[in-house]
Chain A
Amino acid sequence: MKCKTRDFGEIEIKDSDILTFAQPLFGFEDYRRFTLIYNHDIGESLAWLQSIDDPELCFILFDPTPLSSFFRPELPQWIEDTLGKGDYICWVLCAIPDDIRKTTVNLKSPIFINPLTRKVAQIMLEQNYPIRFPLIKEDT
């Protein structure tokens, strides 16, 4: 099927590329179907989470692996009921302002994808992580 995107024009996606939010993004309860878009030049540390139903709605995701020295999300037990069994992939949402050096990521509420069921959930962790964590160190 064709999918209109905000930043890449119209792209072709398969049914298996569709991710469904079993627990929606907070404040975006009406938007359930998204697809992940990678860009070859940018690599896989950042991805676009594009709404399939609204071309203008798109989030930038960051792979938090480089933060793993202090960012170790503990999932609630009920997540298996929501996403099904599997190995979940964790992403965090970026807020990119005009001055990109001030980009922050939401470590309090990451999203988890189950690649087997293609279900997604945004989970507010019990852990005390910041909602706006600066991604870029001041002096770079």
Chain B
Amino acid sequence: MLIITRKADESIIIELEGGKGNIEIKVLEVGSQIRLGIEAPAGYKVWRNEIYQNVLANRQAASAALPNLFDAVSKLSEKLK
């Protein structure tokens, strides 16, 4: 992991190779918590990590695209009895 020290009002730039737009993360306030400002080009979604872990889990849950999910759920319900 790259570790960088920053003060309030300083920022870092994450450059996407090929000039496809940069992401800027700025430290707005420092204290017991820090406030960050994030600027990213269109096409990027910014998540709090703990929320993002649930997004991934939900996507996984939605893509249980088994050829026959009904059979799978039947078998699952048998196993749970």
Q: Is the CB of B79 within 8 A of A109?
A: no
- Residue A19, interface by CB 8 Å: no
Q: Is the CB of A58 within 8 A of B62?
A: yes
Q: Is the CB of B73 within 8 A of A46?
A: yes
Chain A binding site: helix, strand, loop or mixed by DSSP? Answer: loop
- Residue A124, interface by CB 8 Å: yes
Residues from chain B with Cβ under 8 Å of A41 in the complex: 74
Q: Is the CB of B61 within 8 A of A100?
A: no
Instruction: Evaluate whether A95 and B77 lie within 8 angstroms (CB atoms) in the complex, with A7-B70, A27-B55, A106-B54 already known.
Output: no
Q: How far is the CB of A124 from chain B (nearest CB, A)?
A: 6
B-side interface size class: 20 to 34
- Residue A94, interface by CB 8 Å: yes
Instruction: Evaluate whether A57 and B62 lie within 8 angstroms (CB atoms) in the complex, with A26-B51, A108-B54, A109-B54 already known.
Output: yes
Q: Is the CB of A95 within 8 A of B79?
A: no
* A66 to B80 alpha-carbon distance, docked (Å): 10
Q: How far is the CB of B54 from chain A (nearest CB, A)?
A: 4
A-side interface size class: 35 or more
Residues from chain A with Cβ under 8 Å of B54 in the complex: 26-27, 106, 108-109, 122, 124, 131
Q: Is the CB of A135 within 8 A of B75?
A: no
Residues from chain B with Cβ under 8 Å of A46 in the complex: 73, 76-77, 80
Residues from chain B with Cβ under 8 Å of A28 in the complex: 58, 62
Q: Is the CB of A100 within 8 A of B76?
A: yes
Q: How far is the CB of B81 from chain A (nearest CB, A)?
A: 9
Q: How far is the CB of B22 from chain A (nearest CB, A)?
A: 25
Q: Is the CB of A96 within 8 A of B80?
A: no
* A68 to B64 alpha-carbon distance, docked (Å): 26
Q: Is the CB of B80 within 8 A of A45?
A: yes
- Residue B50, interface by CB 8 Å: yes
